[in-house]
């Protein structure tokens, strides 16, 4: 069963929603956050990246940064930029990008279920990234980062959410500077809330973390570190749950700084032992099927198709990121651990293949690879098997905005 609960969100006044909403804290560095919030005192980045209000040389993990987040959050509330819902509600969050929409339910999910693997993971977390959010939650008292959960589609849930959208007006509806439209409805009706809670409890056996492993792990560890009576709000964490048929997973591409001592001809000869190679000249290669790759090398594009026997039937072995690593990046280019090797970088599919060309043509990188996106079924299979994906396997787009719906762990 999936335990989901309504909650009293801390959220912006409707006329300020577009100003408050900010990109997730972990997709911007401090410099980018300063630029994004420049001239906008209502940006939620003043809370999630509060070092922007301290001297430039401030360590973003220093104690004063978390204290600044706490005082900024209090100021947003006192200035009536943010207000607390007067009752526990569910929220419908629709994201629209390039004419395509995906609609999820914002709710609290159970930390008990997370710890008992009923909320399934597919990614390892890094202690230093966890500690950042642990301290942010502990000192601010708020879960400001939304965890993106997925579940296998259920028609009854789809229908209830769609019915609400058809008859109710949204509380927020704005288009951000990146042209992504954000629309949110409040579900405040007690019977509808009870029905949704029951549907998840009876029809959804488990959920899957699509994006936000560090946020979920941090929320769980905040509870573990609490002494004495744990407040009710700390037993749950902020999530948005999307049905599997609405997930939009983009490619997550690779670029490498050098050819590991090989010339272009040597690389092509080595690659041909493991892939069928087709030359595409200047025509970009966006893979249209699993186990097909694009390679940009020497101002030319090549289409690579995995030969039989180059991958296993194991859920992780089937992933194109694994096939590329085991058959090309490691044996030919000498890339060992992708988590730590400084010779490899990753480019989210939202940036397009032109970004791969740009970085290779500039001389910064020597070769680029475009990959077919991981599918929702692959993500579920790996999580169900208890395995983890290789690093940088999935890129989810569009991103949920921070600041629109926040969970306070203390009443």
Find where tokens 């993500």 sit.
379
Is the confidence at residue 411, as pLDDT, over 80?
Answer: no
pLDDT digits (tens, 9 = 90+) for 364-383: 999 999 999 999 999 999 99
For residue 201, what are the CA distances in angstroms to 181, 198, 209? 30, 5, 17
Of 108, 239, 103, 241, give the one whose Cα is nearest residue 183. 103
pLDDT tens digits, residue range 8-37?
Answer: 999 999 999 999 999 999 888 999 999 999
Residues 106 and 185 in one domain: yes
322: preceding bond cis by omega (within 30 degrees): no
Q: What is the pTM of this model?
A: 0.88
For the chain, the C-alpha Rg in angstroms (whole number) is 22
Q: Give the closest residue to 210 by CA, choosing from 135, 141, 121.
A: 121
pLDDT for 388 equals 86
**Together in a domain, 262 and 131:** no
The reply to whether 196 and 277 lie within a common domain is: no
Q: Higher confidence at residue 386 or residue 269?
A: 269
Q: What is the mean pLDDT of the segment spanning 218-245?
A: 95
Q: Is 282 helix (H, G, I), strand (E, B) or coil?
A: coil
The model's pLDDT over 248-275, given as tens digits with 9 standing for 90+, comes to 888 999 999 999 999 999 999 999 999 9
Regarding whether 38 and 135 lie in a shared domain, the answer is yes
Specify whether the CB–CB gap between 184 and 405 falls below 8 A: yes
> Tell me, what's the pLDDT at 340?
84
Quote the number of domains for the chain: 2
Q: Coil, strand, or helix at residue 165?
A: helix
Residues 103 and 205 in one domain: yes
Helical axes 63-78 vs 127-140, angle rounded to 10°: 40
> Which CATH number does the domain housing residue 260 bear?
3.30.1760
Q: Are residues 10 and 141 in the same domain?
A: yes
Q: Supply the pLDDT for residue 126.
A: 81
Q: What percentage of the chain reaches a pLDDT higher than 90? A: 85
The lowest-confidence range among 4-18, 105-119, 341-355 is 341-355
Domain that holds residue 138: 4-248+397-408
**Region 100-106 average pLDDT:** 96
Could you tell me the pLDDT band of residue 346, with boundaries at 50, 70 and 90?
very high
> Tokens 């009443």 correspond to what residue?
411
* 263 & 307 share domain: yes
Considering the domain architecture, whether residues 49 and 178 belong to the same structural domain is answered as: yes
* Residue 368, φ and ψ in degrees, nearest 5: -130, 150
Is the Cα torsion angle 126, 247, 46, 9 positive or negative in sign?
A: negative
Instruction: Determine the pLDDT at residue 47.
Output: 98
With CA atoms as reference, report the closest residue to 323 among 275, 360, 358, 255. Answer: 275
Q: Cα angle vertex 48, ends 47, 50, to 5°?
A: 60
What are 116-141's pLDDT values in tens digits? 999 999 888 888 889 999 999 999 99
Residue 225: its pLDDT value, please? 93
Residue 383 belongs to some domain of the structure: no
Query: Under the phi-then-psi rule, with left for phi > 0, alpha for psi from -120 to 50, and beta for the rest, what region is 386?
Result: left
What pLDDT score was predicted for residue 285? Answer: 97
123 falls within a domain: yes
């Amino acid at each position: 069963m999936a335990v989901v609960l309504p909650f009293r969100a801390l959220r912006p006044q409707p006329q300020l929603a577009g100003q408050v909403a900010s990109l997730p804290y972990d997709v911007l560095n401090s410099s980018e956050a300063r630029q994004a919030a420049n001239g906008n005192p209502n940006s939620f980045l003043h809370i999630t990246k509060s070092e922007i209000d301290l001297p430039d040389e401030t360590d973003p993990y220093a104690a004063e940064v978390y204290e600044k987040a706490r005082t900024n959050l209090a100021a947003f509330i006192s200035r009536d930029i943010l207000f607390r819902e007067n009752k526990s509600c569910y929220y419908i969050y629709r994201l629209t990008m390039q004419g395509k929409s995906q609609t999820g339910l914002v709710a609290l999910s159970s930390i008990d279920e997370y710890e008992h693997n009923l909320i399934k993971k597919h990614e390892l977390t890094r202690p230093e990234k966890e500690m950042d959010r642990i301290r942010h939650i502990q000192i601010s008292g708020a879960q400001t980062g939304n965890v993106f959960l997925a579940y296998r589609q259920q028609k009854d849930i789809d229908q209830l959410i769609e019915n609400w959208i058809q008859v109710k007006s949204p509380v927020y509806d704005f288009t951000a500077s990146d042209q992504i439209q954000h629309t949110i409805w409040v579900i405040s009706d007690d019977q509808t809330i009870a029905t949704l809670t029951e549907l998840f409890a009876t029809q959804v056996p488990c959920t899957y973390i699509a994006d936000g492993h560090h946020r979920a792990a941090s929320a769980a560890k905040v509870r573990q570190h609490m002494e004495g009576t744990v407040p009710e709000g700390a037993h749950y964490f902020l999530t948005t749950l999307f049905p599997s048929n609405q997930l939009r997973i983009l490619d997550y591409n690779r670029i490498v700084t050098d050819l590991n001592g090989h010339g272009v001809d040597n690389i092509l000869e080595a690659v041909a032992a493991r892939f069928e190679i087709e030359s595409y000249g200047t025509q970009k290669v966006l893979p249209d099927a699993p186990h097909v790759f694009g390679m940009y090398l020497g101002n030319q594009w090549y289409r690579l198709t995995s030969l039989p026997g180059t991958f296993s039937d194991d859920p992780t072995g089937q992933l194109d990121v694994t096939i590329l690593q085991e058959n090309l990046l490691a044996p030919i280019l000498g890339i060992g651990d992708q988590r730590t090797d400084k010779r490899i970088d990753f480019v989210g599919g939202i940036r397009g293949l032109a970004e791969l060309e740009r970085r290779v043509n500039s001389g910064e990188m020597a070769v680029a690879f475009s990959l077919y996106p991981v599918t929702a079924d692959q993500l579920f299979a790996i999580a169900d098997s208890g395995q983890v994906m290789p690093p940088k396997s999935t890129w989810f787009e569009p991103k949920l905005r921070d600041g629109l719906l926040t969970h306070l762990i203390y009443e």
